[in-house]
Amino acid sequence: MRIAIIGGGPAGISLAWFLKGTKFDVTVYEGLDDVGKKPCAWGVLRGIENYIEIPKESIYSEIKGFRIFLDGKLISEVRERSKLGYIVDKPLMLRRLGEKVDLRLNSKAVLENGKLKLNGKIEEADKVILATGHYSLSKDLTIPALQYVTDLNYDPEMVDMYFYSDLLGYGWIFPDPLGAKIGVGGYSSLEFISEKLKSITSGKILVRHGARVADFGVIEERLNGNYIGEALGTVYAVTGEGIRPSIISSKIMAHSLLEGKDFSKEFRNSKLYWSLQIHASVIKRAKASNSVKSLEKVLLRADPKLVVKFAMGDFGKLDLIKLFGSAIL
């Protein structure tokens, strides 16, 4: 069976990696001349090594601490001896994984009327899976985000997350080989987001870029076995983490294909689906009330370790009750 995957991001390449050496003949089509070009902070939280091999040369540092700020004030800090995740060179990681699968760059692949078209010509495929990221999503399912890379001398083991009483969104500072990645994204204008970004920026700005980020939760109508990764909505809405959940979505897809199971059922029964939807419900409640006060209350009063667990998607029902009360369930 020949499978075509459109999109050479974390979801598309990892699905091909999971299916290599199996009964499936898989090709990944990437329209650009290289992989990993979408701007992001390059953070991958722990647990990813249970799903996929991270090339050692792509790991810049291990994350061992989180600081959380509200309106510029430090409200909690957690530092662990064991790693909480990694900062990776995303393009290098994807290139190395791509070397082990059939990855074709500069390949303009689209799905038209159920047919795969490659550079304008029909290409044979038994199944087409879309791993096209935010590009296939409407703007109402995404938020704008801006990011600078600066030469700030930043702790390679620490991540800072910023939240605001006047912005439904988040900011971040992540370590980077050049210094730091500093960004802000949220439900507001680019001008407002830019002002927020300036307020947390330190160091000489080396690179300026931006992208839209899925912030809706899982898109139910796309749970049809044809979508994976951010195109399916696998981004944690409160924090913007997307690499790890996208790879996990591909693992579930690979398992479904290999075992002949219904992807929709397998995905809905996963902890990934549940935790993504909980994150999305927090954002939807805040949007409905036009207020971030409930999130502020959690950040100010909760155990910092619980807040970090929630941010990482590594929480259970009891954790949620402690953070938000039973109404969240």
247 to 53, 61, 142, 252, 301: CA distances (angstroms): 11, 20, 19, 9, 33
Tally the domains of the chain: 1
Range of the domain at 262: 2-271
Residue 80 forms part of a structural domain: yes
CA–CA distances in Å: residue 8 to residues 11, 38, 113 = 7, 11, 22
Model confidence, pTM:
0.95
The model's confidence at residue 242, banded by pLDDT at 50, 70 and 90, is very high
Spatial separation of the C-alpha atoms in residues 8 and 94, rounded to whole Å? 8
Alpha-carbon torsion, ordered 280, 286, 292, 294, to 10 deg: -80
Compute the average pLDDT of residues 137-155.
Answer: 97
Q: Is the pLDDT of residue 83 over 80?
A: yes
129, part of any domain: yes
Is 282 part of any domain?
A: no
Alpha carbon distance 36, 65 (integer Å): 25
Q: Is residue 100 part of a domain?
A: yes
CB contact at 8 A, 71 and 92: no
Residue 277 belongs to a domain:
no
> Is 291 part of any domain?
no
Q: Is residue 279 in a domain?
A: no
Q: Residue 154: phi, psi to the nearest 5?
A: -115, 145
Q: What is the pLDDT of residues 37-47, one digit of tens each?
A: 999 999 999 99
Q: Model confidence over 205-238: pLDDT tens digits?
A: 999 999 999 999 999 999 999 999 999 999 999 9
Residue 183, domain CATH: 3.50.50.60
